[in-house]
Amino acid sequence: MKPLILIVEDETPQAEVLRYNLEKADFRTSVAVSGEEALVKVDEEQPDLVVLDWMLPELSGLEVCRRLRANKETRGLPVIMLTARGEEGDKIRGLDSGADDYVVKPFLPSEMVARVRAVLRRARPSLAEDHLEYGDISVDLTEHKVTRGGRAVHLGPTEFRLLTTLMERPGRVFSREQLLDLVWGRNIHVEERTVDVHIRRLRKALNNERMPDLIRTVRGAGYSLDLEKT
Ligand code: CA
């Protein structure tokens, strides 16, 4: 699915320019006109990145960014802050508040799109890249093809998303709850043991008798993809 970018900007013409250019660059967009609305939309729509104007009525962009960083569910959400030219002190405060990047108004739309791509590539490789590799596993994200050691691996859509999620952060242990949020979506009710069922299917598809199992089960914690697995 195309990455969803939440644009937080109270000036309609500016928001429209951003929306037009991001959609032309093949992103989905959503617009919030205040900091309060932005926080609601982050929760409801789970965007992949937020373009956040500093100057907003009431709750400022800076405060919105701080709140996103203080919440464990949105701590890692990429944020690009927009501010007025010449406010160098703002730049430092913006980055201090946890923004991933900073763009000065007025900006060229092409520059903005390039920043969005760069920040996404760092934060969520599977959204910006067309290819992921880990060990002898290779995933073509455009064609939805997976190979292991050159051999084609056939996965269902859920196992495919599970694998790409684990491959984005090799070595990191994901709890069942985190995997449900990332693979199934936060607002969908699925029991945690469903994760175990799909992990089992993923293992079966990836491994054959000669290949080591790269999926590590961490008792009481969850799962990770790990070459160092013992
Ligand atoms: Ca504004």
Q: What is the pLDDT of residues 103-143, one digit of tens each?
A: 888 889 899 999 999 999 888 777 777 888 999 999 998 88
Q: Which domain holds residue 90?
A: 4-127
Q: Does residue 81 sit in the same domain as residue 182?
A: no
What is the distance, to the nearest Å, from the Cα of residue 144 to the centroid of all Cα atoms in its chain?
18
CATH code at position 215: 1.10.10.10
State residue 24's pLDDT score: 94
Specify whether the CB–CB gap between 104 and 69 falls below 8 A. no
8 with 107, same domain: the answer is: yes
Answer yes or no: do 10 and 116 share one domain.
yes
Contacts of 133 (CB under 8 A, 6+ apart): 139
Q: What is the pLDDT of residue 189?
A: 82
Last residue of some domain: 93, 127, 161? 127
11 CA to centre of ligand 1 in angstroms? 5
Distance from the alpha carbon of residue 61 to the mean position of ligand 1, in angstroms: 9
* Distance between Cα 108 and ligand 1 center (Å): 17
Pair 69, 137 in one domain = no
26, 123: one domain: yes
Last residue within a domain, chosen from 127, 159, 186: 127
**Please, are residues 32 and 75 in contact by the beta-carbon 8 Å criterion?**
no
Please tell me whether residues 21 and 109 are part of one structural domain: yes
pLDDT digit string, tens, across residues 3-17? 899 999 999 999 999
- Provide the H-helix boundaries in the chain: 12-24, 35-45, 61-70, 88-96, 109-123, 125-128, 157-168, 176-179, 192-206
Report the separation in Å between the CA atom of 74 and the middle of ligand 1, taken as the mean of its atom positions: 22
**Which residue among 127, 149, 180 closes a domain?**
127
Distance 54 CA to ligand 1 centre (A): 7
Please state, for a pLDDT cut of 90, what percent of the chain lies above it.
Answer: 58
Query: Could you tell me if 220 and 115 lie in one domain?
Result: no
Task: Using DSSP, state whether 194 is helix, strand or coil.
Answer: helix
Write down the pTM of the prediction.
0.70
Arithmetic mean of pLDDT over the chain:
89
Q: Phi and psi dihedrals of 143, rounded to 5?
A: -90, -5
Q: Is 22 exposed, middle or buried (0-12, 13-18, 19+ CB in 10 A)?
A: buried
Q: 96 CA distance to ligand 1 centroid (A)?
A: 20
Q: Give the whole-number percent of the chain exceeding pLDDT 70.
A: 94
88 pLDDT more than 90:
no
What pLDDT is attached to residue 230? 47
Evaluate the omega torsion of the peptide bond into residue 106 and state whether it is cis, within 30 degrees of 0. yes
Is residue 16 domain-shared with residue 119, that is, in the same domain? yes
Q: Are residues 116 and 205 in the same domain?
A: no
Domain check: are 116 and 10 in the same one?
yes
> How far is the centre of ligand 1, averaged over its atoms, from the C-alpha of 36 (Å)?
14
Q: What is the pLDDT of residues 178-222, one digit of tens each?
A: 899 889 877 778 888 999 999 999 999 998 777 889 999 999 899
Distance from residue 76's CA to the centre of ligand 1 (Å):
24
